[in-house]
């Protein structure tokens, strides 16, 4: 992954040379580029700002230097991150999504912000994400860019010395906050390590940690425990045997589209019978969405081995595709995976570009090294 930073204060990014990011760069896992926006100015004073149209306090960053900077740095494979308090909230899900990108460019604004035309122009060249660290205002975007960088690059394969540490931290396992952690000595200033952690019983330890994670989340972030619902309040519920007929109809409608996209008819989901659907309903953890009594979406998952959650049959009625329902179903099936799951796996058509794009944006990576069904590709993601 390559990360570029454009700022009028490039010295802010000296910390990139420290600790794990610096070591990762030395090993070739990352490449950093820091650029002074003023190098793309042409006046004697190297001016990067001017008064705002319409009046008001403060100054606005001029479009010309940004345009020249982007001319040099952006490609269609670039994702530009504008750090701004008016952006979408930054969270672990967004960090996972950005970790799948090949090239990130951080545009660090100052003063009252960057001329909106710069953002509009960038959208025509590359992917653009406007991102906020939270509901507060900083003097500039540099601190936010560093925080986002640290959250993103630590998710890259090979970055962490012990990859298992990513699984149990806050916001990782099912979105819960992390459980309390302890180390030696067993007693300190009248406080003792819980006996269950010293018992040697790994099952009891795992159960205690999960219970503590749920309790801590309920106390501090109850919003993270809300059930999965659509924007209109429609719940995602477990499928029942009585749903088999409608699932078969929805499945055929979806996989006719897949057959057309991949120019092949030999797709198992297209040829299953009602009995086949009834059979796999008993083997998979299946969830459905109904609107006005009509089954319009479904997804399923099951444990593969001890630690892998196999995700499949993400289905959305053709007239609702593109509405975001598929993304919500994908998020839901990951959230309901058992506590011991450490990774997700799914496959889709090799020519199903729209599906692959959704999965990549959700943090999945193509795994051409893994065997896949004919005409399909496999994607995986760490939990």
pLDDT digits (tens, 9 = 90+) for 348-382: 888 888 888 889 988 999 998 888 888 889 999 99
- Residue 109 annotated as lining a ligand binding site: yes
**Which pLDDT score is estimated for 160?**
58
- Residue 113 annotated as lining a ligand binding site: no
**Which pLDDT score is estimated for 174?**
53
- Residue 138 annotated as lining a ligand binding site: yes
Q: Where in the chain is the domain with CATH 3.40.1280.10?
A: 2-153
Candidate CATH numbers 3.10.310.30, 3.40.30.10, 3.40.50.300, 3.40.630.30; the one for domain 237-382: 3.40.630.30
* Topology (CATH) of 168-225: 1.10.1270
> pTM for this structure?
0.57
- Residue 296 annotated as lining a ligand binding site: no
Q: Is the CATH number of domain 2-153 3.40.1280.10? A: yes
- Residue 344 annotated as lining a ligand binding site: no
Q: Region 198-206: what's the mean pLDDT?
A: 91
- Residue 200 annotated as lining a ligand binding site: no
Model confidence pLDDT, tens digit, residues 228-243: 666 666 788 888 888 9
- Residue 340 annotated as lining a ligand binding site: no
CA distance 7 to 109: 7
């Amino acid at each position: 992954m390559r990360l570029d930073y454009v700022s009028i204060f490039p010295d802010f990014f000296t910390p990139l040379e420290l600790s794990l990011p610096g070591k990762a760069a030395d090993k070739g896992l990352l490449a950093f580029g820091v650029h002074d926006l003023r190098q793309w100015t042409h006046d004697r004073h190297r001016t990067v700002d001017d008064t705002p149209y319409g009046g008001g306090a403060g100054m606005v960053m001029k479009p010309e230097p940004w345009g020249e900077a982007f001319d040099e740095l952006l490609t269609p494979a670039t994702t530009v991150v504008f750090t701004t308090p008016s952006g979408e909230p930054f969270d672990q899900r967004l960090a996972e999504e950005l970790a799948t990108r090949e090239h990130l460019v951080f545009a660090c604004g100052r003063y009252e912000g960057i001329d909106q035309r710069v953002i509009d122009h960038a959208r025509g060249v590359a992917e653009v994400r406007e991102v906020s660290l939270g509901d507060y205002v900083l003097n500039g975007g540099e601190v936010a860019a560093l925080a986002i960088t640290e959250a993103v690059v630590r998710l890259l394969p090979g970055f962490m010395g012990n990859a298992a540490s990513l699984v149990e931290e806050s916001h990782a396992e099912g979105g819960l906050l992390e459980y309390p952690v302890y180390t030696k000595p067993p007693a300190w200033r009248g406080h003792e390590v819980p006996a269950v952690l010293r018992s040697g019983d790994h099952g009891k330890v795992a159960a205690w940690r999960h219970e503590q994670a749920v309790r801590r989340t309920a106390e501090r972030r109850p919003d993270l425990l809300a059930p999965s619902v659509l924007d209109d309040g429609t719940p995602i519920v477990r499928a029942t045997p009585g749903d088999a007929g409608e699932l078969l109809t929805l499945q055929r409608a979806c996989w006719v589209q897949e057959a057309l996209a991949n120019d092949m008819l030999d797709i198992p989901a297209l040829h299953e019978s009602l009995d086949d659907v009834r059979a796999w309903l008993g083997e998979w953890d299946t969830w459905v969405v109904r609107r006005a009594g009509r089954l319009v979406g479904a997804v399923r998952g099951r444990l593969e081995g001890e630690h892998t959650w196999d995700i499949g049959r993400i289905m959305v009625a053709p007239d609702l595709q593109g509405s975001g329902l598929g993304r919500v179903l994908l998020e839901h099936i990951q959230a309901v995976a058992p506590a011991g799951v450490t990774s997700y796996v799914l496959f889709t058509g090799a020519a199903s570009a729209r599906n692959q794009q959704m999965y990549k944006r959700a943090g999945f990576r193509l795994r051409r090294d893994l065997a896949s069904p004919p005409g399909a590709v496999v994607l995986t993601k760490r939990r």
